[in-house]
Each structure stands twice: as C-alpha cells, then as structure tokens.
Amino acid sequence: MAKTTAFSCFAIVCASVASAQEQTLIPGVGLSVEGAWVNQQSSDLSGGGSFSVDRVYGRAGGFKRLDNGLGLGLFASYGNSDYDFSGAAPWGEVRESAISTAFSGKLNNGAQYFIAPSVRTRYERGASASDGRTAGVFAGISWQVSDNLKIGPAFGAFEGLGDDDVEVFPALLLDWKMSDRLSLSTGPTIGASRGPGLSLRYAMSNDWSVTLSARSEKNRFALSDSGSTPNGVGQDRSVPVVVSLGYAPNPAMSFSVFAGAEVDGQLRLEDATGSVVGRQSYDAAPIAGLAFSLAF
C-alpha cells in the first residue's frame, strides 16, 4: 500500500545528498563536512506539561566525477535529539545515522538527473538500531530552461517504520535567480531543517546573505523496550520556519546563525502493533542554532 505524505526525515538525507552532489560536479574528488546545533525551546503540550529538544547533526562524504560524465558520491551522517519532558516522558534521547550514495549525470538533451539510495536508522537510546532501520531512494531530473531558472520533478519512495506501508511522495527541484540578489530554491536547509525546503535568499553582498526557509518535517523512530510504549514507534511532526544570517567568505566555506519557530507541531505514539495510543499537539516552539559547511 502506498501513501503520499510530507517529506519524511529519511527522504531529507537523500535530498541533501542529491543537492550536495550537484554542487560538487568538478573534476577529481570533492570532500565535504557539515554540521549544525539546534535548540528547540520549551513548548506547552495540549495534554498538559511541556518539552524541549536539543539537536546536533553532522555529515561527511565525497563526490567524484568520472571521465564518462557520471558522478558518484558516498555520504555518512549522524544526529542526536535529546528530548526533555516536564512530566511523563514518552521517549528520551533519539539517535540517527545514515549511509547514502548518489549517482548523477547529464542526458543528451541537457537534462541533469540524480538517483540517491539510502539506508537509515532512527531509534531511541536503549532500542536496537536495527529496529529503526529503513531504506529507500530519492531521484529527480531538472532542465536549465533559462539562464536564471532550473526546474524539474523528483520523487521519493521509502519504507515505512512501524508498519508495512511505503511512503511515496512527489517533489520539485527549483533554482530560480529572480534578480542579481534574490533567489528562490528547494535545496537542503541544514541547521534549521536538514533537508529539502523552500528557501528565499537575499544576497546583501558577496559574503553575507539573509534567507527565509520553511518545510514540512516528520521524524519517526523506534522506541526502546523499557519505556512507556515498549517496542513502539514515536513521531515528531512540525513545520520549521526560520530566518538565517549566512557568511560565505568563499564557495567552499559557509557559516550561519538562525532563529525561528516550529509550528503546527504534533507528537504521536504507536504501540508494537502499530495502533496509535497517544497524540498531542504542541504550541509554536522557538528555535535557534548554528550551522557550518566546508568543502575540500
């Protein structure tokens, strides 16, 4: 059974890989390292109590363009989300890791394509990493329709965690230079949200920029066998909206600080059989953080 959903966190990693490989289509091997820290401040839950989250994320990898024009990439990532509940905690520290590959090239008509398969684990500390393992693929194709516009379709297909469903969703690849300083794109937004989102960027100078970013996020993870819902599945869904100030002294180096809010948030609990046993919405949660990206 297939279902169309908002971007899953698993798809986000694949999209980040795809975007990164498009940015490093140069002879030889391009290596990159990036990371982020995000603090989600305390937010009230509809059922009473409140919670906050501290997140860290890192990714490293490389991309090589072959003589025949085919590009190959390999990336590894690790993340940690430390939840702090004022009352009974449905879960605690959530860990994630992923191995992703990327393949890209050009067709005879000039279109650029990529295929990015990935294997990911997402689980509460105390659970087995294998309980939170899923796999899937993200792929797309884009055309340079003008000097200022590149656009095309994409899709993702990923295993569902905690059930037998497969998540299938469409996506849009967009890079639109609206003016010399203003651009609109659907690239990764590491720091605020580690994956594809809609970003409006204004370049104040060659080095400094301001960006408004937003996307829909849904994170699902396996729960430990000793918590409130043994061997169940937790879910944290929200829409992060942030403004970031970026500094990029050269194309291979960038740093940013950002602030905003997680809106339309909801936490959900599923037991070992897949039945929903708890659901709570949460108020808009202020978020702030730091991010960096380096290429070699």
pLDDT digits (tens), the chain, 296 positions: 333 333 333 333 333 333 333 333 344 568 999 999 999 999 999 999 999 999 999 999 999 988 777 999 999 999 999 999 998 899 999 999 999 999 999 998 889 999 999 999 999 999 999 999 999 999 999 999 999 999 999 988 988 887 657 888 888 899 999 999 999 998 655 444 444 678 999 999 999 999 999 988 888 999 999 888 999 999 999 999 999 999 999 989 999 999 999 999 999 999 998 899 999 999 999 999 999 999 98
Would you call 130 exposed, middle or buried from its count of C-beta atoms within 10 A (0-12, 13-18, 19+)?
exposed
Structural domains of the chain ordered from first start: 2-295 (2.40.160)
The length of the chain in residues reads 296
Q: Where are the beta strands (DSSP E) in 86-197?
A: 93-106, 112-124, 133-146, 149-159, 166-177, 182-185, 188-189, 193-196
Cα Rg of the chain, angstroms: 19
pTM, full prediction: 0.85
* Contact predicate 130/221, CB 8 Å: no
CA distance 202 to 66: 34
* Contact predicate 21/63, CB 8 Å: yes
